[in-house]
Amino acid sequence: KKIMMMSTNSEFFHSNCKNVAENLGFCNNFTITYENGSSAGEGFIGLMKRVRIFGDQKIENELKHNQTLTLIVKIPPFNREEIEKYNTLELFAREVFVYNEMLPEYDRMQLENGINRNNFDDGFWSRPYCYHASMSNNSANFLIIMEDLRAKMFQLKDKTIPVDYDHTKRLLSELGKFNALSFVMKMSEPQIFEKFTKLKDLLCPMMDTAQMNKIMSKRCILAASLFTQNDDEQMKNNLLSLQNNLWKNVANLIHESNSEPYNIVNHGDFWTNNIMFAYASAHSEAVTKVCFLDWQMARYGSPMLDAIMFIHTCVDFDVREKYLEDLLQTYHGSLGKTLEKFHLNVEKVFPWTVALEHFHKFALFSYAMMIYGLPMMTNLPEELLNEPNTIDKYSEMTNFKIYEYKMMRYAREMSKYGFL
């Protein structure tokens, strides 16, 4: 079994890839080669490697020659500073837990209730198949081996382009199914669900460090600098007032104690870069499948946190304004339809009025994320991010105008809903 070595990886990486290949029926003198598995900007917390297996493979007791299979392997960054900055090892441990503990329980529960994996529309199967996930206290010994979704024609959308109505509607339908399984387990198997209630928020603590607070302060100054008219003075001052405590306020607002008895497990990092779509054909925009990636921030909290994050940070403004209630009803309807398969009534489990209340009540979470993330999503120059007082230098730049338009709309929404 020939393994072509990569200088950046340990024997741990190679041996696990070899074991997965053998478990999938590869035998004799198969080869394993490696390449980068994602482009710049993808895999924000971890590194992706594409593993290509080639050789003889036993499939249903028949030996087939010249078989090729590609897998994706996710590993932590090798940069110690990156590991410490983002608390990467804890994030990796969270994702390994989700793949090893939580999603298998959801699968079991669905299969026991006659929800078939082969019928994609029948239940929640919208995540990569995980062949192996393991971790240790040594960062070199963390890895997740998954199916290669690109080989199955899934695509990652451009994070700088707002998501349209059709993609959002399909995505929220899948989110409703996912959330339903959490409710079902919470109500029917509380002893198993108990361990999932311990999935505490990792995002707010990561954002509320001395290093990140300096960045957030500059982001707030940059946003405030957009409001130059006299009648915008209050808006400017309100944005500046967020500099020192924004993520503390978010953490307090979305704490699980504010959303019981409705809390379930959320994806936790639900935005464009963590979702892939498959289409009816190469030239079609008709979505046939959705896949949720990157589970490292899965957390226990309000069912609406993922919908809040995606709708506010990724969806086109005009789509939100025109179709918000329709989109939320799509989510809630899918939630209810899946709950019915387990003989539960959505109006008793998570009423529509409560869903609407949570969507608006916890929206500061997504606005804080946009104050932080929008400058990166619009690719603003590094100098402007570090020195917001250079804003005049970039005022005619196309990317800046996009940032200005979006950030001013976000700020006015924050004011409208009482967050500014």
85 falls within a domain = no
Strand bridging mode 155-156 / 264-266: unpaired
The enclosing domain of 197 has a CATH number of: 3.90.1200
Q: How many domains would you assign to the chain?
A: 1
Contact present, 255 and 248 (Cβ < 8 Å)? no
139 falls within a domain = no
200 falls within a domain = yes
Q: What are phi and psi of 121, to 5 degrees?
A: -80, -10
76 falls within a domain = no
What ranges in 189-209 are assigned the alpha helix state H?
A: 190-193, 203-207
37 falls within a domain = no
- Crossing angle of helices 364-377 and 246-253, in 10° steps, is 140
CA distance 361 to 253: 8
Maximum distance among all Cα pairs of the chain, rounded to whole angstroms: 77
Give the predicted TM-score (pTM) of the model. Answer: 0.92
CA distance 117 to 102: 16
Burial 164-179 (b: 16+ CB within 10 A, else e): ebebbbbbbbbbbbbb
Task: Write out the residue range of the structural domain in which residue 373 sits.
Answer: 157-416
Joined together, the tokens standing for residue 85 give: 């900055």
- Crossing angle of helices 317-341 and 165-188, in 10° steps, is 30
- Burial of residue 386 (number of CB atoms within 10 Å: 0-12, 13-18, 19+): exposed
Q: What are phi and psi of 36, to 5 degrees?
A: -65, 140
Q: Which amino acid is at 146?
A: M
CA distance 407 to 326: 25
17 falls within a domain = no
CA distance 322 to 70: 42
What ranges in 350-397 are assigned the alpha helix state H?
A: 352-361, 364-377, 382-386
252 Cβ neighbours under 8 A, 6+ residues apart: none
Cis peptide, bond prior to residue 261, ω within 30 of zero: yes
DSSP β-bridge partners for residue 62:
59
Report how far Cα 393 is from the mean position of its chain's Cα atoms: 34
Residue with tokens 């209340």: 357
Q: Which amino acid is at 317?
A: F
Tens digit of pLDDT at every position of the chain (420 positions): 443 333 334 788 889 999 999 999 999 889 999 888 765 445 556 788 999 999 999 999 899 999 999 999 998 876 666 656 666 788 889 999 999 999 999 999 999 999 988 777 789 999 999 999 998 766 558 899 999 999 999 999 998 899 999 999 999 999 999 999 999 999 999 999 999 999 999 999 999 989 899 999 999 999 999 998 777 888 999 999 998 899 999 999 999 999 999 999 999 999 999 999 999 988 888 999 999 999 999 999 999 999 999 999 999 999 999 999 999 999 999 999 999 999 999 999 999 999 999 999 999 999 999 999 999 989 999 999 999 989 999 999 999 999 999 999 999 999 988 888
CA distance 69 to 147: 9
CA distance 408 to 324: 20
206 falls within a domain = yes
DSSP sequence for 330-354: HHHHHHHHHHHHTT--HHHHS-HHH
What is the gyration radius of the CA atoms in the chain, in angstroms?
23
